[in-house]
Amino acid sequence: MAKKHLVIIGHGMAGSRLLDELQSRHAGTRYRITVYGEEPGAAYNRILLSKVLGGADPDTIRMKAETWHPGDDVTLVPRTRVDRIDSANRLLHLSDGSTEPYDIAIIATGSRPFIPKIEGSVLADSSPKPGVFAYRTLDDCLQMRSKLRPGDSAVVLGGGLLGLEAAKALADNGLHVTVCHLMPTLMETQLDETGGKMLQRQIEQQGIFVRCGRTIAAILGCNQVRGVRLDDGTELAADMVVLACGIRPRVDLAQASGIPVNRGVIVNDALATAVPGVYALGECAEHRGRVYGIVTPIWEQCEALADILCATGSARRYTGSKLYSRLKVAGVDVASMGVVKPELASDQTIQIFEEQRATYRKLILREGKLIGAQLVGDTAAAGQLVQLFDRNTTIPLNPLEALCAYSAAGGSTGAALDRQVCNCNTVNESAIVSAIKQGCVSVEAVGVCTRAGTGCGSCRSQIVGLIREHRPAAAATL
């Protein structure tokens, strides 16, 4: 029997991970797979772009080495855009004018940066004014890096994760950096007011100025950025303006193909669109009214769709994801999960604020179960909190035990051995320790074996600690 032609449209984080999941289920025995990507080279981890802005080799954030070969059953087609899906004839219309037949198509086009309309941000020909940068792609990063000059001033618009990471990288390169954020506190979708202000203080201690409740009304300078005017009339000198104002799902392909969209491409619990043979996942997809923009839900979607397409879980359905993240934001440890604020009068809140240690920890409980948590400055308990949250487990009678069950300085204990270390890939400590004892004595080797540390990267320091604690005596490589 001839193999069906399965096409992945998009070779970003979602498309690359889906390919991994399909290959791990031996999809090549039933499918001929083609992956179309608009960018050159191997897929890369967008979460780690700040490392490249800080001077790292771009290859260090690639999800695969440039020498990687996907196998005879997979064809990678870079620098090619799919403009339309002709579902009636099962044809893809490509940017070079050609067409390609398909049996199954998966839209994994991701998102695009939201670029607000700001006076003075573009030239007369509508091209970006020199010195104005979006912060979304590797090319954005490399262009920005080529213009960095120590002593210059930069204004970053956006106090979310990417904006703060960009600000930190610019400051580390010797620039004077100001972050402007429209909302009253930083990272307001992950942190409450107290957590946001704690994060702001720690960022300001690194020499980065933060102006919350402010946005850019105009970018000054005729043919080059010379400064910005804020919405309160304040003018700031600036040689560079970085726009990190969030993302919007890329739905243009679906719209051009007559596939229903709302905020994202609408999919059901099988991650299928309303058009037979066409699926969608990742940041471009909308499931049960929700669009996900963090790693863990996207990985879960990839696993579910691979099961469905390979019949390894033909009854498998994706019913949504619980949201949690553990990150190092501009050098500050931050973890967040579930709701940010109590929703019911009966919800119980526990907060620990330690100004001297510059830490803030908060739990939100409902009927003895964890429905939300925030950790700023000390995320040692994050692994166990994620397990309590994800499994909907009743927490200890004294909720403080959940915060104190694992100390970063205390090492592993028998009770803590199964704590979750890598939240992005749901990898527990026991799996990492097992890999180390089998000879994986570098962070990269552990990542290949378990996938730990290959998402946002915030758990890499914990993996290093586990390697030091558990590596065989003869091994000494980290």
pLDDT digits (tens, 9 = 90+) for 77-91: 999 999 999 999 999
Answer yes or no: is pLDDT of 415 > 70: no
Whether residue 290 contacts residue 323, with contact meaning beta carbons closer than 8 Å, is answered with no
Span 453-467, pLDDT tens digits: 877 777 887 888 888
pLDDT the model gives residue 47 = 87
Calculate mean pLDDT across residues 216-239: 97
Answer yes or no: is pLDDT of 416 > 60: no
Q: Quick one: angle between helices 161-172 and 193-204, nearest 10?
A: 10
Out of 11-20, 333-342, 418-427, 445-454, least confident range = 418-427
Out of 113-122, 321-330, 360-369, least confident range = 321-330
Task: Break the chain into its structural domains and give their ranges.
Answer: 4-112+248-310, 132-245, 324-470
Q: What is the pTM of this model?
A: 0.88
Span 257-301, pLDDT tens digits: 999 999 999 999 999 999 999 999 999 999 999 999 989 999 999
Contacts of 184 (CB under 8 A, 6+ apart): 193, 196, 212, 213
Residue 62: CB atoms within 10 Å: 18
| Euclidean distance between CA atoms 234 and 367, whole angstroms | 48
Note whether 132-245 and 324-470 share their fold. Answer: no
pLDDT the model gives residue 414 = 41
Report phi then psi at 232, rounded to 5: -100, 10
Q: 146: buried, middle or exposed (CB in 10 Å: 19+, 13-18, 0-12)? A: exposed
CATH architecture of 4-112+248-310: 3-Layer(bba) Sandwich (3.50)
pLDDT the model gives residue 412 = 41
Span 375-386, pLDDT tens digits: 999 998 888 899
pLDDT the model gives residue 447 = 82
Whether residue 150 contacts residue 175, with contact meaning beta carbons closer than 8 Å, is answered with yes
Q: What's 324-470's CATH class?
A: alpha beta
Answer yes or no: is pLDDT of 311 > 80: yes
Whether residue 37 contacts residue 94, with contact meaning beta carbons closer than 8 Å, is answered with no
Could you please state the CATH topology (level 3) that the domain comprising 132-245 is classified under. Answer: FAD/NAD(P)-binding domain (3.50.50)
Percent of the chain past pLDDT 70, that is, above it, reads: 95
